[in-house]
Structure 1
């Protein structure tokens, strides 16, 4: 893109994505390529368990992603050694299913196709079986009471077409199916079995051929509540023949059942079997082609104390060179709402199935697991939980099992409403409607990546009972502090405890500057959450040992005694259990004054003032409050708008405060410090600027130009002249979607040249260059704006961008690269590296 006669090259790279998992069963899948997929709002996110980083998000769905399923999944990893391309199915709450292709060679994704006949309601489960290297059959269930079975032929050469054909559509009635598993039947090539279970407490077995129709073969009774998960093993070899299969089922009745499906032999052979324990309950017999199969209940596993949401066989390992035969380990992973995952195996001597390993959450704040998955080689297990969180354990034992927690990506599990950079950019703070605030930072670790930095969540300062709408980190000297506003009428001030400052030192390898400003006698180590309140109380350095003794001596269990938080200094990125409980910041003040839920907050650039606004439908409520940092007194109430003020920003010389509102106006207030505790403020100008709500505004770091962005799909650039009047400089070309976020970066002060980042309701981000320079021949100032770069949709958000923030509003003098952070409705916090 030409700019002022010069070429302006801008490169954009993805640095980090933080996102939580949609809180729904069947959402996560572990692929044979050793990547995990999950739904994060309308995006399909892909994460790499080795680096604990989210690699990308796939944009296409228009509704919440309910389930994902790899082709091949970890179950068929033994067949996938030589594959160059892997595929992924994803289904959403609208009933739409997409097929994606992932090329291992160039790590590129493409959206291959959309399944033509969509379900009328949300997709609840997808299950697939690889019948050959290029053929897969998958079934999808939905709450519309239909189960569809499809055959997909994958291309054998790069860039080829995927062919899709519908084998059958099964009507399962008013009680929908929520669990599916497909398998090839042993001893009879070409026949398939489909197990499904749901709200009628029975397991239904359908048999069919690869050419089409599936018929109801039999049903298995035993569970007394909804069936939640089903998984077929691969065929088990007995005497060199594939003669039987195992099916494991789990239910809300807290039980797990193992069923054996054996090729039915003649009566002569049957007499021997009747004495064995394994087939003590004979079940139904069904026909498939020329073979018949006997089903029997093999085992009933009791151990979980709550609903068992998922069961999965350990992936088979190939046992021969040509990969035709494979060995199915006798090992099952179950995940439950009782906050544990268990591995079940038969005892060597008796053959009775026992719980061999239990891992899980011990923290009080978790609410159970929605699903558990094996890694392709069976040495790691992953759970996803109610808090949108992942939990990964790896077996690090050599001669014996020793399961240890591992690092995983983390992030918000609801819309992320606001973000703010620390003063020197050491970390990024985000707040969300999931009622938490989170700190993300690059962690210096020489072994992890080329530049030794990977991003992780390092603290969760605020865990709250209200959706949090806005936040600002205070810029001035001294300790790290932030002000956040939520769906309550109070703004809360938090201060970093000692444990966080020391953790941050580890993360940044002592390169941080804030330690110089710290009080020597800092006494607050961390914070505790009271059982029934929302305030986070400080834990003092001396008191940390006394409080334990005090708690033990009382010995009475009252409602107020919840586990004491133990503030910890982390020397490596913390995992979920630690974040949720041991990284809180103490609350130092509450700011009372607003009449409604807080909506916007901003701080000035010296850390002396904070401005707040709340939701409003009357002019009297739409006032902006000014607070003095430190004393936290209200020092001003600014009146101008008639509806909610949507965003506030101080000019970079702190002399003006800009506000934009739902009432389509912007206002500029002149702010002066008149005394030690006194501020004078005056409304300089109020002007109607757009035809619809104004969502965003941003000042030029080098002057008094500013940009406003609106639902009317325009961005306008204005100049404040002589501190009293405003002139419209230019309007950027109309965007395809509402403009919801703006951030202005100063690049070159001499030429008053900057870059404006524009975020849209569609999730897309664009960078525009702007300069306001005198033309060579005359003294006329010519505003010049041009589109510099559109971000690739695969690195953008998939729904509305709420906030964009450049790391330092004035670009580093030494480098040509700067970081841009964004957050949005898709639960994601993103950081981009922009080279200018």
Structure 2
């Protein structure tokens, strides 16, 4: 996505230039514990809910293309019109539509134009549910209209007809055909189909907490009545899916319904026209378990249990018929093939044997062992050559059938990312990769993989490592600057900061990803003896795996349980030559923990490192001055070298000036503090206690804003800095004469609380740069700042102008947690810079700003 903005701003100073902003990569994933959140449409794109947005990704390129803002609550379910089931009818369709339902009961209709890959918000369905939408299912009646049904935890089912606009950009109309009340036991799954024959009737199947499948029959104009109940499952119904009508002996008079349940079973039900049922029985299986009969207009349908599929060892969350294949573009053939996904960490493909007709499991994929807690859904690609699963933790798992004469399903790359609020990000000192941490209790490393096979641009971004998988929500992180191996410090909802050091497997993988060579950079120590790390039973400390360690598989008794919390298998760290898949990331890319930093009295909240890589500052949540003190740690020895007291409430962010002479801290107490920090190399002290001589002094403390001060950032070319607050203002300050603080300007009020700032320099001589501003509503703005100093009069003259407002479709949909410019060597004629952001919407985004 690109946007070009050319604007003149009268604020303080007028400037005029053009910027081109391109969103290089987005890393959101679907929320955990949401079952009907993913939909693979006939367009070939996959839609899923990522907090308050709908994310779209392309399975072929393994890229997230965009996120669609518009919902005010978490998106629970999505459904394409046409879905993959009707891909055979959509070859010439230029516009596809997407329905998304949220936790507040709202359903939104979106339009995708395939010609220009543009998205458009069409409309909100007029009558929202009173509680969260749990499932949406619909069918295209023609290229201009569709019928869909939605279920909700409020105990209602809505059936709608939607007429699409004749041309892109037009208006659509909704008609509520029926409102069904199902009582206190809510329905969690739904499926809609046309009945076979010339009945012009629809059948609606719902299932939920009462262990029964309820069938409703209605006309195209509505008037749905409860036809019958199908009993057999002994636990919650989790998924339902109708096939397209089945043709037997040249007559299309049967319909199949597949259901899955928490009783670990899958059932296939046949609905056949009663008049032709005897003929069908002679050709099919020898016996049927006959069920009820329901009437649709002048036709009667006999329901029978076709088959009971037993094979999964845990709840079966999803079943789906293989998409039909087209014969002549109009008629189709419904394959007798079903995909199921279960909490036993497997997906299975079921098909009937040709001779006996007995349904058998013919393909099993998954078996992720300790790497996942199970699958919440499985989906066919429109052409049935790939299958996609989503699981606990928002992870995607994709397999593609690459076999020619026989099936050969192989795992493929998929997008990955956090599944909870992303709290902090930090660029590596060289800008090679981006590290992020989240309340999903993981830290993740994203990097561009150069010259990836199959990449058109030769430079695509991927998650290349998951160095920390923790037992607490992670709140903050900082990468240690300076030369040497890569290290970072993270702080979580515990009183301990943890230090991690890159193992040899990561150093080699990063070298391959970023340089495609086998030679190490000069600033790296190649004598690393740690290959990777193992996770402990409680998910806290990560133990090193040494290069020379000999591994012998433990001898276990035949009846001993292997996969338990106490017996977690060893990781197998390897050097990756291509971007890893989820199974590798989740277990085999951990970093060993080298130190624990004790001292704080509450949960860690903020971390920062100086630019020479010698000091780390940390703060924690606090309600008193004694707890709100900032701790300084010596890198290497990791000893406490200072406890800085100034604030009375939580210090929300800290940052060292670029010459490391000052430490800036902002706090919930509406104040900022500046400490002067002096480091003196003392050989005697180093020899005795292992630290340099560190001296610090509180230079000033000043009440800067009327509300909480969330963020701050230094000017890379001087001692000016910016502070941002909940009072919707950004103020620019300067240190003059080494000790006094002067406010230079206040930017015009913003539309929302300012939660993130990041200042980058463009021209040192003119002291010009960009200030990126992130807000609580998810929006991001770029401001052009110039600080001119008059040496004769000793007067500082600041100028500022709004350079760009990011397109809302490129922004976050919740509060921006942190902004960070990429650390690269910028020349004076540099025409491109990159900005990373993270937010409460579970996403990490990387933007490229081209100066044109």
TM, length-normalised to structure 1: 0.97
Q: Give the equivalent residue in structure 2 for 1:18.
A: 27
SS of the residue 2:512 aligns to: helix
CA separation in 1, counterparts of 2:119 and 2:526?
Answer: 52
1:664 maps to 2:670 = yes
1:687 maps to 2:699 = no
Shift of 1:774: 5.0
CA-to-aligned-CA distance 1:200-221 (integer Å, 9 cap, x gap): 1111110101111101111111
SS of the residue 1:517 aligns to: coil
The partner residue of 1:621 within 618, 623, 627 is: 627
1:537 maps to 2:547 = no
Q: Give the equivalent residue in structure 2 for 1:34.
A: 44
1:701 maps to 2:711 = no
Give the alignment of 1:20-99 within 5 angstroms: 20-23=29-32, 24-99=34-109
Shift of 1:154: 1.3
Q: Does structure 1 conserve the Cα–Cα contact (< 8 Å) formed by 2:714 and 2:721?
A: yes
SS of the residue 1:506 aligns to: helix
CA separation in 2, counterparts of 1:456 and 1:114?
Answer: 34
CA separation in 2, counterparts of 1:554 and 1:137?
Answer: 55
CA separation in 1, counterparts of 2:163 and 2:577?
Answer: 49
* Cα 1:809/1:695, change in 2 over 3 Å: farther
Shift of 1:530: 1.8
Larger deviation, residues 156-165 vs 632-641? 156-165
Larger deviation, residues 448-457 vs 375-384? 448-457
Larger deviation, residues 282-291 vs 659-668? 282-291
CA-to-aligned-CA distance 1:407-454 (integer Å, 9 cap, x gap): 000000000000000011000000000000000000113543333011
Q: Give the equivalent residue in structure 2 for 1:454.
A: 460
SS of the residue 2:820 aligns to: strand
CA separation in 1, counterparts of 2:452 and 2:667?
Answer: 47
CA-to-aligned-CA distance 1:685-735 (integer Å, 9 cap, x gap): 000000000000000000011000000000001111112111111111101
1:282 maps to 2:286 = no
The partner residue of 1:404 within 397, 410, 422 is: 410
The partner residue of 1:781 within 796, 799, 805 is: 796
Larger deviation, residues 14-23 vs 90-99? 14-23
Q: Does structure 2 conserve the Cα–Cα contact (< 8 Å) formed by 1:670 and 1:684?
A: yes
Shift of 1:324: 2.2
1:159 maps to 2:165 = no
1:434 maps to 2:434 = no
SS of the residue 2:154 aligns to: coil
The partner residue of 2:427 within 421, 425, 428 is: 421
The partner residue of 2:498 within 468, 484, 492 is: 492
Q: Give the equivalent residue in structure 1 for 2:384.
A: 378
CA separation in 1, counterparts of 2:280 and 2:371?
Answer: 53
Shift of 1:319: 0.8
Q: Give the equivalent residue in structure 2 for 1:314.
A: 322
Give the alignment of 1:181-260 within 5 angstroms: 181-260=191-270
SS of the residue 1:547 aligns to: coil
Shift of 1:560: 4.4
Q: Does structure 2 conserve the Cα–Cα contact (< 8 Å) formed by 1:448 and 1:454?
A: no
TM, length-normalised to structure 2: 0.95
The partner residue of 2:606 within 574, 580, 600 is: 600
SS of the residue 1:632 aligns to: coil
Q: Does structure 2 conserve the Cα–Cα contact (< 8 Å) formed by 1:59 and 1:794?
A: yes
CA separation in 1, counterparts of 2:608 and 2:791?
Answer: 39
CA separation in 2, counterparts of 1:554 and 1:403?
Answer: 31
Q: Give the equivalent residue in structure 2 for 1:395.
A: 401
Q: Does structure 1 conserve the Cα–Cα contact (< 8 Å) formed by 2:778 and 2:839?
A: yes
* Cα 1:556/1:813, change in 2 over 3 Å: farther
Q: Give the equivalent residue in structure 2 for 1:299.
A: 307
Q: Does structure 2 conserve the Cα–Cα contact (< 8 Å) formed by 1:478 and 1:514?
A: no
Q: Does structure 2 conserve the Cα–Cα contact (< 8 Å) formed by 1:497 and 1:585?
A: yes
CA-to-aligned-CA distance 1:182-214 (integer Å, 9 cap, x gap): 001111242100011111111111010111110
Structure 1: segments with no counterpart, 5+ residues: none
Q: Does structure 2 conserve the Cα–Cα contact (< 8 Å) formed by 1:380 and 1:394?
A: yes
CA separation in 2, counterparts of 1:80 and 1:60?
Answer: 27
CA-to-aligned-CA distance 1:88-135 (integer Å, 9 cap, x gap): 000011101000001111111111000111101100000001111111
Q: Does structure 1 conserve the Cα–Cα contact (< 8 Å) formed by 2:452 and 2:578?
A: no
Q: Does structure 2 conserve the Cα–Cα contact (< 8 Å) formed by 1:87 and 1:99?
A: yes
Q: Give the equivalent residue in structure 1 for 2:688.
A: none
Structure 1 vs Structure 2 CA RMSD: 1.9
SS of the residue 2:515 aligns to: coil
CA-to-aligned-CA distance 1:479-516 (integer Å, 9 cap, x gap): 00000000000000000000001111111124799632
Q: Does structure 2 conserve the Cα–Cα contact (< 8 Å) formed by 1:420 and 1:805?
A: yes
1:369 maps to 2:375 = yes
Q: Does structure 2 conserve the Cα–Cα contact (< 8 Å) formed by 1:717 and 1:728?
A: yes
1:728 maps to 2:743 = yes
CA separation in 1, counterparts of 2:560 and 2:296?
Answer: 63
Q: Does structure 2 conserve the Cα–Cα contact (< 8 Å) formed by 1:744 and 1:809?
A: no
Q: Give the equivalent residue in structure 2 for 1:103.
A: 113
SS of the residue 2:320 aligns to: strand
Q: Does structure 2 conserve the Cα–Cα contact (< 8 Å) formed by 1:394 and 1:404?
A: yes
CA separation in 2, counterparts of 1:273 and 1:41?
Answer: 49
Q: Does structure 2 conserve the Cα–Cα contact (< 8 Å) formed by 1:818 and 1:834?
A: yes
- How many correspondences in the alignment? 830
Larger deviation, residues 279-288 vs 51-60? 279-288
CA separation in 2, counterparts of 1:760 and 1:449?
Answer: 34
1:829 maps to 2:844 = yes
Q: Does structure 1 conserve the Cα–Cα contact (< 8 Å) formed by 2:450 and 2:516?
A: no
Q: Give the equivalent residue in structure 2 for 1:820.
A: 835
